[in-house]
A and B are shown apart, each in its own frame.
Chain A
């Protein structure tokens, strides 16, 4: 379980995160929703131990991310925004590099890569250099790379941005499959429909603060509105006024 409590982060004078608290459980997809610049990426970066919080605490299975970042990284698969691949390496080499960095043995790694290539339908591009990949192909390879250590936790920052309808659909199917296998998935987005279609729990962030949280049904009830988009707008406006 991911637990975030009173997380605070400053960039100079700017308060990027201002006491955000939420939890994300195993076997569920939790969506971080918020307008651009709300603090979603910052929150994910603190969880993935790339950044340190200025205040508050984030734990994974009770391990403080700041105290033992290497232990946290072993449990995590991360798909950051942009998903940079190495253009001179093939798809398989890109995935293998991360497998090697995770210290996975050769035979296990070969088997895992074969399985990922099969499952994410990468065989056509497996041995091609990443230089000319489409955005969809890049995201698929980056996802395979994030899954190479069979993580219990998967963090995705705006995973569907730049993807076409088919690729978005595929991604949704894979995430649902991972969820069924007990993976805890935390993804950020500024697209309400995407969150609504995928997530079990929604965390709305605006201006670095928690605006609302709960299941889609609970949020509809709280804001007395069936339209989730309207719920999102209302939650952000409510956060603005306080």
Chain B
């Protein structure tokens, strides 16, 4: 036990003095991850707000004959762009296909006649559905055109002494029950990805330095001649890696705690469920994952022949835990007891539940912690076996 402590302390002191290790542990996770996160959310929010508020300028062919409509659209932030050479439907289609204009509104020549004699007048929106950049703008123009049509229809009915409600047998209403925190959960769900990344990144250089690095420096062989069992040496090294992972995780959580109040979530009608208590729960949930990560990284690094090779493999290993998280996010997976056996996914689901401020099933928490520690134990056994082989010296 004492020897494990000696090895752990030495590895920590040794790596605290290494600038590269400290950079990846203290700077990457805790500093860059929250900054990147805030920048990402800011971008999403800005885009959502700007497309709803911006004034639109759309080429509208034949707007001269529909002064009433022009005034209606202008009041709703849609201006007719007069700087174009489009004359009919064909040239409008060509302009859209060639990309001269995102989309064009064409009012038919007979608009004034039809409109005056109460016949339906045709207004065509020419657009390309596969062009996602204009999707929202097209929808906005279409819904304003529909609104104008409904208003004119209602006025005509009133002029004939008929109540406009006659032609509205039902009213479709939406009643959105999602809570503000529930809505922000999707975005904050990316948070677990950053947290898992910070855990692994925090210990990556230690996992390499204590195994492949030690061999490359030729300090492994004399170390193996000290009267300490290889198992104790290994456990000491993995403990040091775990300590660095936990430090990186704690600092990253603090970083997020500082950064989330600056997120413009209110502007989207959302609120943040990321409190000090959430941070502490997230730390406790991810602590077993760091033990698993430390053993996994040490195992992989022990197989490699050099520092560089270890870096390559561990770089790939960093991506592995993100896969279950990606699947959970894309498929919108609900937490279940079976999924608590999938490391990284179980942590992701539980932390997301916390952020949504939904009730946490404590049995699932126990399952997540237990299963992660069981996997860590199994990988530990494999690593210990590997450490007892002669080939360890390379």
Contact = CB atoms under 8 A, between A and B. Distances in A.
A93 B17 CA distance: 13
A49 B390 CA distance: 10
A101 B227 contact: yes
A15 interface: no
The bracket for how many chain A residues form the interface is: 20 to 34
B56 interface: no
B226 interface: yes
A133 interface: no
17 contacts: A45-B393, A50-B225, A51-B390, A51-B393, A70-B227, A80-B221, A82-B218, A84-B218, A84-B219, A86-B10, A88-B18, A93-B13, A98-B226, A101-B226, A101-B228, A103-B3, A145-B222
A232 interface: no
A89 B13 contact: yes
Given A51-B390, A52-B390, A83-B218, A97 B225 contact: no
Interface string A94-107: 00011011110000
B229 A88 contact: no
Interface in B1-59: 2-3, 6-7, 10, 13-15, 17-18
Interface stretch (A71-79, A185-193, A204-212): A71-79
A43 interface: no
Given A89-B14, A100-B6, A84 B221 contact: yes
B13 A76 contact: no
Contact of A83 (B2, B10, B13, B222): B222
Interface residues of B, number: 26
Given A50-B393, A73-B225, A78-B225, A101 B219 contact: no
A55 interface: no
A80 B223 CA distance: 10
A101 B3 contact: yes
B133 interface: no
Contacts of A87: 217
Contacts of A51: 390, 393
A97 B6 CA distance: 7
A142 B225 contact: no
Contact of B7 (A71, A79, A88, A101): A101
B186 to A, nearest CB: 43
Contacts of B229: 70
A117 interface: no
Contacts of B222: 78-80, 83-84, 98, 142, 145-146
A162 to B, nearest CB: 12
A211 B3 CA distance: 42
